[in-house]
Amino acid sequence: MGHSLCVTAAVSKQSSLNQAAYVTGSTEYRYGHNSILNMKVYGAPADTGYGRVAMLHDGSMYRLYLFKRGSRDTIYQFGFNRSTNRYEYGYNSIKVLKIVGMPADASNKGFAMLHDGKDYRLYQRSKDGKKLYQAAYKAGSNSYVYGYNSIKVMNITGAPATITNNGRWAMLHDGKDYRLYIGRKGHANQFYQFAFDGSGYKHGYKSIPLLKVTGMPNTSKRNSFAMLHDRSAYRYYYKTK
């Protein structure tokens, strides 16, 4: 009985990621399409919060970021270990990262990250959901600094009235364009696409305006999602329950 209780406690702290990828020529991200279906998140600190999630691919490594529970400025970093097919805490990564200097108006509901071939970047939306605040990683530190090598504030324009203002949003860089994705209210598997137009993020600019994800298992937590581009495919992720 003692052994059984220990195993149950350990499993209860585990999480994983369900993965979908974009089907070329469609408006669909499909679960398991050119993808590992599910990947474990391993070794997370006991105070990891799973409500806010971001991911990126930096040209060589897939990375996952989760906030410390209750924190506004502390993030835990995981790297994908191809030998185990797991996202492992601290694997080829700085374990703990800090966000420095974000405005008080930055919403704590969610965040996004990307790598644009040069810089690691972190974003938070304004509390009204209409702006993006940008930070970048300062080499040689453990910090993402607001405005460092960055446009500090960018407007989100042309957005439909039904965009969400919660954790359902993500960003990526596909080697050419910076892209923003925001969930559609009342449709957990649909999301709007925006791209950077030189000054802000415009709905439908160089983009399919509305996308959907299909086939995701019922284990998926749909209150937030993450996305990345790995130089070959656009990918979409849900955490599991």
Domain ranges of the chain: 16-240
Residues counted in the chain: 241
**Predicted pLDDT of residue 173:** 98
Lookup: tokens for 43: 């070794």
Pairing state between β 153-157 and 86-89: unpaired
Vertex 216, ends 212 and 221: CA angle to 5°?
A: 95
Looking at this protein, which amino acid is placed at residue 76?
Y
- Report how far residue 67's alpha carbon sits from residue 203's, in angstroms, rounded to the nearest whole number: 28
Pairing state between β 96-100 and 143-146: parallel
**Predicted pLDDT of residue 126:** 98
E strand or H helix that includes residue 195? strand 187-196
**10 phi and psi angles, rounded to 5 deg:** -65, -45
Is residue 77 within 8 Å of residue 95, measured between CB atoms?
Answer: yes
- Report how far residue 101's alpha carbon sits from residue 130's, in angstroms, rounded to the nearest whole number: 19
pLDDT by 10s per residue, the chain, length 241: 333 333 333 333 579 999 999 999 999 999 999 999 999 999 999 999 999 999 999 999 999 999 999 999 999 999 999 999 999 999 999 999 999 999 999 999 999 999 999 999 999 999 999 999 999 999 999 999 999 999 999 999 999 999 999 999 999 999 999 999 999 999 999 999 999 999 999 999 999 999 999 999 999 999 999 999 999 999 999 999 8
- Report how far residue 148's alpha carbon sits from residue 193's, in angstroms, rounded to the nearest whole number: 26
State the first-to-last Cα distance of the chain, in angstroms, to the nearest integer.
Answer: 25
